Structure 1
Amino acid sequence: MKQEKLNLEQIPRVERISKEDFLRNYVQPQKPVVIEKLIENWPAYDKWNLDYIKKLAGNKEVPLYDNRPISSKYKFNEPHTYMKMADYIDLIKSGPTNYRIFLYHLMKEVPALQKDFRIPKIGLKIIKQVPMLFFGGENSKVFMHYDIDYANILHFHFHGKKQCILFGPEQSKYLYKVPHALIAREDINFENPDFDKFPVLRKAKGYIAELNHGESLYMPEGYWHHMTYKTAGFSMSLRAAPRTLTNFSKAVYNLIFMRHFDNYMRKLRGQKWIDYKNEQAIKRTHKKNEISL
Structure 2
Amino acid sequence: MSLQLTEIERVKTISKEDFYNNYVKKQKPLVIEELTHDWPAYNKWHLNYIKEVAGDKTVPLYDDRPVSYKDGFNEAHATMKMGEYIDLLQKEPTNYRIFLYNLMKEVPLLVQDFKWPNIGLRLVKQLPMLFFGGENSRVFMHFDIDYSNILHFHFHGKKRCVLFAPSQTKYMYKIPHSLISREDIDFDNPDFNKFPALKQAQGFVCELNHGEMLYMPEGYWHYMKYVTAGFSMSLRAFPRKMSNLSRAAYNVFVMRHFDNLMRKLKGQSWIDYKNEAAIKRTHKQLHITK
Could you state the TM-score of these two structures normalised by the residue count of structure 2? 0.99
Give the distance between the partners of 1:269 and 1:11, measured in 2 at CA: 42
Q: Deviations over 1:9-39 (max 9, x none)?
A: 1000000000111011111110000000011
State the Cα deviation string for residues 241-293 of structure 1 (Å, max 9, x = none).
00011000000000000010000001111100000000000000000100124
Q: CA deviation at 1:132?
A: 1.0
- Structure 1 CA distance for aligned equivalents of residues 127 and 52 of structure 2: 20
How many residues of Structure 1 are paired with residues of Structure 2 in the alignment?
290
Instruction: Report the Cα distance in structure 2 between the residues aligned to 1:128 and 1:52, rounded to whole angstroms.
Output: 23
**Counterpart of 1:125?**
122
- Secondary structure of the 1:119 match is coil
Deviations 1:97-155 (A, max 9, x none): 10000011110000100111111000001012141100000000000000000000000
Alpha-carbon distance in structure 1 between the residues aligned to 2:180 and 2:136:
20
| 1:148 paired to 2:145 | yes
Structure 2 unaligned regions, length at least 5: none
Partner of 1:177, secondary structure, is coil
Equivalence for 1:174: 171
TM-score (norm 1): 0.98
Deviation at 1:61, TM superposition (A): 0.5
| Uncovered stretches (5+) of structure 1, i.e. residues with no partner | none
1:155 alignment partner AA: H
Aligned partner of 1:108 in structure 2 is 105
Distance 2:24 2:36 in 1: 18
Q: CA RMSD in A?
A: 0.6
1:267-286 alignment, distance < 5 Å: 267-286=264-283
Q: How far apart are the structure 2 equivalents of 1:114 and 1:291?
A: 50
Amino acid at match of 1:41: D
Question: Helix, strand or coil: the match of 1:180?
Answer: coil
1:223 alignment partner, one of 213, 220, 226: 220
Deviations along 1:195-252, whole A, 9 cap, x unmatched?
A: 0000000000000000000000000000000000000000000000000110000000
- How far apart, in 2, do the equivalents of 1:94 and 1:175 lie? 35
| Structure 2 counterpart of 1:39 | 36
> Does the 8 A contact of 1:108 with 1:130 survive in 2?
no
Q: CA separation in 2, counterparts of 1:242 and 1:14?
A: 24
Partner of 2:84: 87
Pair 1:135 & 2:132 matched: yes
4+ residue segments displaced more than 4 Å: none
Separation (CA, whole Å) in 2 of partners of 1:270 and 1:31: 39
- Amino-acid identity (%): 68
3-state DSSP class of the match of 1:9?
strand
On the 8 A contact 1:61/1:85 being kept in 2, the answer is yes
What is the aligned counterpart of 1:189 among 168, 186, 190? Answer: 186
Written as runs of structure 1 = structure 2, the 5 A alignment for 1:9-24 is 9-24=6-21
The answer on 1:64 being equivalent to 2:42 is no
Amino acid at match of 1:283: K
Structure-2 separation of matches of 1:11 and 1:70: 30
Secondary structure (helix, strand or coil) at the match of 2:222 reads strand
